[in-house]
Structure 1
Amino acid sequence: MDGIVPDIAVGTNPQSLFILFSNYGYVQCVKILFNKKENALLKMADDNQAQPAMSPLNWHKLHGNLITPSKHQNGRKDQGLTKDYGNLALHRFKKPGFKNFQNIFLPSATVHLSNIPPSVSEEYLKVLSSSHGGVIKRLKFFQKDRKMALIQMRCVEEAVQAPVDLHNHHVWENHHPGVSFSKSTI
């Protein structure tokens, strides 16, 4: 696996890692290690995306465990622990030069939520976040476009969990939220 990014003490699944790291580049493959299930390897589209994907998340926590760089450069036979994301439609960076490349930010306590249906209230978003273990400190809908909001979580670790739990999941009928890290604060 070329372009491998982190050894991650996971306590998670390939889908969660795909969603988290797809904030930073084109994730082709996620592999949970067979003999060390607390670790995972990710394959990015190329080496130019591997380092930028690792740098922002390096030493942040996911499920209480640190995300750290990998010592491995090639994976072994996976025995069902690898999932290839090369042709998945969920990629944020599928098209070269896509606008999402301009919106790559370090994890912070504030996340950007998009594709919110008009009927969703601030209270509903707070309940939704708390049902996924997060606590919203502040929430602010965009004035010009109520389909987007900034959400400040209690801590960075909860914000790192937000895209894993909510990005592109079927939360509302015909609306799948987009969740990414934000440089803005509330």
Structure 2
Amino acid sequence: MAAIPPICDFGWPAIDATLPGVDGKQHSIFGQAGPNGIVVAFICNHCPYVKAVISRIVRDAGDMKAEGVGFVAVSSNDAGAYPEDSFQNMRLFAAAHHFGFPYLYDEEQSLARAYGAACTPDFFGFNKELKLQYRGRLDASRKEAGPADLRRDLYEAMTQVARTGEGPLDQIASIGCSIKWKEAA
């Protein structure tokens, strides 16, 4: 089921957590920040919206690094109900797509809940003070990758954040598969 997150709550403070990465190490969210900010991206392995743009996510994360913006991806889906999103499959997915950033497993779903993540992909772009400045889409792609010349919304917004500390006022929400929450006990 498709979900659309709310638009940016400017100034909302980033939340730190330490989670296991597919590289076998523990990573803190704040430890991934660059000197000009960070993007925290909630993704997963099975979502057709993520699969359609994963090469663009990897490209833009690399390009943002040159702007001093760090990047971290987090999977929070219920792997019991969605085995394709298991930690082992996260390792395979990251390797297959040549991730140049940490891919972390939020098994307890506490980080996704703290951020109010709604879908995959869901992007949270913070400035160097770790205040939210962007919560929008990667680009206009949906379940299929759009044309190669699509406006790079996330990259352009985070370049602006890196240079000015402030995100664009006009943002278009991301769309994707809903986070697959575990059933309450």
Q: Under a length normalisation based on structure 1, what TM-score does the superposition of the two structures give?
A: 0.29
* Larger of the two Rg values belongs to structure: 1
Higher relative contact order, structure no. (Cα contacts within 8 Å, ≥ 6 residues apart): 2
Q: What TM-score does the superposition give when structure 2 sets the normalisation length?
A: 0.29
